[in-house]
Structure 1
Amino acid sequence: MTDGGLDSIWLSERRAAPARQPGLTRAQIVGEAVAMLDAEGLPALSMRKLAARLDVAPMSLYWHVPTKDALLELALDAVSGEIELPPEDGDWVDRLRRIAHGLRDTVRAHPWIATLYGVMLNAGPEAMRVYDAFVGALEDSPLPREEIAPMAGVLNNFIYGFIVNEMKWRQRVAAHGASMAEFNADVAGKFAAAYGDRYPRINRYLGLGDAADPDDQFDYGLARILRGTAAEDPD
């Protein structure tokens, strides 16, 4: 993956599209790429392997997708289309909560997405559809307009930061061959064995199962942020 700043298929200068190879579409390519990413993960994706899955010559893909990075951007936007947005006339808190859970559920369904956050510029039409609804819900909150962008940043950092950390932890749990509860209990036991009573305040909370459950953690953090957002005077 390149590190090209704003070098994005969505923001590139529009040019006349080259002639397309009959019988193959960009949608087919992106759909198969998503299926491959879901099944084998990001490291396994290559244009050659993807072409083999589609039973076409590798070079034929480039008639529709200029680069592998562009393909990843297209795949990232395609899965953003799975997020169902709440009606805009609903309660703003409920709308934000549903969008946040939609984002998290999408990453859990497609774990490879977490690797692309902060690397790919997620600026496709499906992603922008979600962001626009996200900002629209904040505009209906009690916050003054000048605080909409900062609060959007706070929520964005919480949601995506939580998701990336969660997916890395889930990968570690899966490699351990245990359930989340079993793995967390094992970590707590090893911590206690290594440090004994040296850190009594931490020891008081190590064995709390709910505190280690990702669903409970996400709901708690999101609720606390939204509760603060709902206050008419954030100061």
Structure 2
Amino acid sequence: MPKTATHGTSRAPLSREKVLHTAVRLADEHGLTALSMRKLAQTLGVEAMSLYNHVTNKDDLLDGIADLVVAEMDTPAVGGDWKAAMRARAMSAHEVLLRHPWATGLIGSRLNVGPAMLRYVDATVGCLRSAGFSYQQADRAWNAMDSHIYGFTLQEVNFPLQPDEYASAAAQFLPQIPVDQFPYMNALTQLVIAGKHSGRADFTFGLDLILDGLERLLGESA
């Protein structure tokens, strides 16, 4: 007599990839400080000790999720228009970090560099080197760009106001900056209140300044 098929739910086998992707989702939902091995195990429906078959410890977990986030960023091609490639790289990194606000500080703090980060940096240096930058210039260039990317993003995700709140906040702030004491701050705030200046920091403004400066440097080095 044939056996009757069972329709119970079967749990997919645990893997390092599954552990890391679940950890990223938890960090996105609750923040990095809320990510614990116990919470991760509960979400996966396993005992906490089971996780250690796939990650060595908490540091290994953090290394892994940092590398997963880097893997989402566009990697520049070697050859072609270096300036367009670097701009696309920066825009992609900024968008990825806004999707994962907790990752901005984490990525820069890891000592153990994962395969995605190695590919990312190697391609970045290769793109700049093929454009004519020296290795020393390429290294300084991508570090300058990344300082803008990570610093700007960190400020953006921690800023206490939404864009549609800037004008009203500026109006409330105006009495604290009388024109006779702070004439330039007062004038700038008036522009925000009047809708003539958004008051928002512009990621592309700083990025294009860096890229234009690098372009001039490359021309001077030729």
TM over 0.5: yes
Give the Cα separation in 2 of the matches to 1:55 and 1:145.
Answer: 48
- Alpha carbons 1:47, 1:58 under 8 Å: kept: yes
For 1:108-148, what per-residue CA distance to the aligned partner results, in whole angstroms no more than 9, with x for missing partners? 11111123144333611112222122222222345444422
**What are the residue-to-residue correspondences of 1:155-174 with 2, within 5 Å?**
155-169=145-159, 172-173=160-161
- Give the corresponding residue for 1:227: 212
Task: Report the TM-score, using the length of structure 1 for normalisation.
Answer: 0.78
> Percent of aligned pairs with the same residue?
34
CA drift at 1:211: 5.5
User: Which of the pair has more CA radius of gyration?
Assistant: 2
How well do the aligned residues superpose, as a CA RMSD in angstroms?
2.2
- Give the corresponding residue for 1:30: 20
Task: Report the TM-score, using the length of structure 2 for normalisation.
Answer: 0.82
For 1:178-220, what per-residue CA distance to the aligned partner results, in whole angstroms no more than 9, with x for missing partners? x3131x2233223321121121122232334656334xx1111
Q: Kindly indicate whether residue 91 of structure 2 is the aligned counterpart of residue 101 of structure 1.
A: yes
- Alpha carbons 2:20, 2:61 under 8 Å: kept: yes
SS at match of 2:220: coil
Give the Cα separation in 2 of the matches to 1:107 and 1:119.
Answer: 15
- Alpha carbons 1:143, 1:230 under 8 Å: kept: no
- Give the corresponding residue for 2:6: none
Q: 2:187 aligns with which of 187, 199, 204?
A: 204
One-letter amino acid of the counterpart of residue 185, structure 1: A
- Given the superposition, is the C-alpha separation of residues 101 and 122 from structure 1 closer, same or farther in structure 2, using an over 3 Å criterion? farther
For structure 1, the residue ranges without an aligned partner over 5 or more in a row are 1-21, 174-178
One-letter amino acid of the counterpart of residue 160, structure 1: Y
- Given the superposition, is the C-alpha separation of residues 62 and 168 from structure 1 closer, same or farther in structure 2, using an over 3 Å criterion? same
Q: 2:163 aligns with which of 161, 180, 193?
A: 180
Give the Cα separation in 2 of the matches to 1:79 and 1:147.
Answer: 26
One-letter amino acid of the counterpart of residue 214, structure 2: T
Give the Cα separation in 2 of the matches to 1:87 and 1:119.
Answer: 26
One-letter amino acid of the counterpart of residue 226, structure 1: L
Q: Kindly indicate whether residue 134 of structure 2 is the aligned counterpart of residue 147 of structure 1.
A: no
- Given the superposition, is the C-alpha separation of residues 141 and 70 from structure 1 closer, same or farther in structure 2, using an over 3 Å criterion? same
For structure 2, the residue ranges without an aligned partner over 5 or more in a row are 1-11
Give the Cα separation in 1 of the matches to 2:76 and 2:67.
Answer: 19
